[in-house]
Amino acid sequence: MAILAPSRRLRRTPFSEGVEAAGVKAYTVYNHMLLPTVFRSVEEDYHHLKSAVQVWDVAVERQVELRGPDAGRLMQMLTPRDLRRMLPGQCYYVPIVDETGGMLNDPVAVKLSEDRWWISIADSDLLFWVKGLALGYRLDVLVDEPDVSPLAVQGPKADELMARVFGDRVRDVRFFKFDHFDFQGRDLVIARSGYSKQGGFEIYVEGEDLGMPLWNALFEAGKDLDVHAGCPNLIERIEGGLLSFGNDMTDDNTPHECGLGKFCNTHTAIGCVGRDALLRVAKEGPVQQIRALSIEGPAVPGCDRWWPLWSGKKRVGRVSSAAWSPDFKTNVAVGMVRLSHWDDGDEVTVETPDGMRKAVVHEKFWI
Ligand code: THG
């Protein structure tokens, strides 16, 4: 692949200086912004993530802020997950659907107060949809993208590193909850969350001027913990079954097809614009669903398009993400598999750029 040409449309982040100094080797583009994908190598980064602690520039997880008396109402219009019992201080993973029940995004919703929310988005321009709904329904709410950039601290030593910078109280933050912490006289929201299964935190850094001071403080405090710059790791996130919007699912898929039915309460999510459509499809049930697959043979090449899944001459799905797993000693993959072949142990054939490979469908991911 050729080099990515820098320009102002391809936004840098408050941490870009630190990312470059740490020797970033590759980027992808996510929400029109740079997202690192490799520091040492995908495999070295993977082993280090599972054994130490990493600091991730995930400023690409942009916030759509809802502010005003109708913020809660607008939030419920966006998602089939019932938000009535959600309290300030909580984060929810929420499928966002359009009027056909198609997935528009799969963000983390952060409830700051009754009338102030952040929607921490995956890679799609959700802001336009949310602004359109607010305007079309004449809601009393402001919708915009604030100067907030998440910085993730992930890995088994994340608690130790965070406690050194923010104090022991940070250890008490529970999964998908957040609290407020002081850094250099400024208030920061810190949640126990992040796009890995290794545990850790996400710091919502308000104000780009705070980016490098915080980055430097974490690296200074973590010298003896082998802290390193990292990024969402392809292998680890496939092992963990963490989905990637735009890769593993699109607006052609319902949350149920994505295995996100557990985050839908379609009967009680009154006001969700996709509710009627989802009630209709939920009655029949999905005919395809996201599954883990192990692909036989040596390491597969990078998956930059959907690889067809076959059973004889019948197309039975697609693989959307795949990588060699050093820990499980097989190629791990995510795919959308048709009902006829989605049971645990079902055998299929994957059409990779390297040729046909046997693969086995699994009901559960690896971690
Ligand atoms: N954190 C924040 N924003 C994000 C992401 C994040 N925006 C982009 C992207 N990641 C959105 N997608 C996901 C996908 C999975 C999870 C979070 C965001 C996730 N899932 C857990 C799981 O599936 O095990 C837990 C879900 C739950 O139990 O509620 O964490 O990572 N701020």
Please tell me whether residue 157 adopts helix, strand or coil conformation.
coil
Q: How far apart are CA 151 and CA 155, in angstroms?
A: 13
Residue with tokens 């919703």: 109
pLDDT of the residue at 326 = 98
Ligand 1 residue neighbourhood (C-beta within 6 Å): 61, 93, 106-108, 120-122, 150, 176, 193-195, 202, 242-243
Nearest residue to 215 via CA among 62, 61, 54, 63:
54
CATH number of 63-144: 3.30.70.1400
Q: How far apart are CA 170 and CA 162, in angstroms?
A: 7
Out of 3.30.70.3170, 3.30.365.10, 2.30.30.100, 2.40.30.110, which CATH number does the structure's domain 287-367 have? Answer: 2.40.30.110
Nearest CA to ligand 1 atom 1: 194
Instruction: For a ligand 1 pocket test, name from 81, 112, 149, 242 the mutation site with the most ligand atoms within 8 angstroms of its C-beta.
Output: 242
Name the token pair of 259.
């295995």
**Domain 16-61+147-238 belongs to what architecture?**
2-Layer Sandwich (3.30)
* pLDDT string in tens for the chain (367-residue length): 778 999 999 999 999 999 999 999 999 999 999 999 999 999 999 999 999 999 999 999 999 999 999 999 999 999 999 999 999 999 999 999 999 999 999 999 999 999 999 999 999 999 999 999 999 999 999 999 999 999 999 999 999 999 999 999 999 999 999 999 999 999 999 999 999 999 999 999 999 999 999 999 999 999 999 999 999 999 999 999 999 999 999 999 999 999 999 999 999 999 999 999 999 998 899 999 999 999 999 999 999 999 999 999 999 999 999 999 999 999 999 999 999 999 999 999 999 999 999 999 999 999 9
* Type of residue found at 361: V
Nearest CA to ligand 1 atom 23: 242
pLDDT of the residue at 79 = 98
pLDDT of the residue at 3 = 86
pLDDT of the residue at 2 = 79
Q: How far apart are CA 130 and CA 156, in angstroms?
A: 36
Indicate the domain borders of the chain.
Answer: 16-61+147-238, 63-144, 287-367
Contact, 258 vs 97, CB < 8 A? no
Residue 18 C-alpha to ligand 1 middle, in angstroms? 24
Q: Which residues contact 300 (CB under 8 A, 6 or more apart)?
A: 322, 323, 324, 331, 333, 352, 354, 357
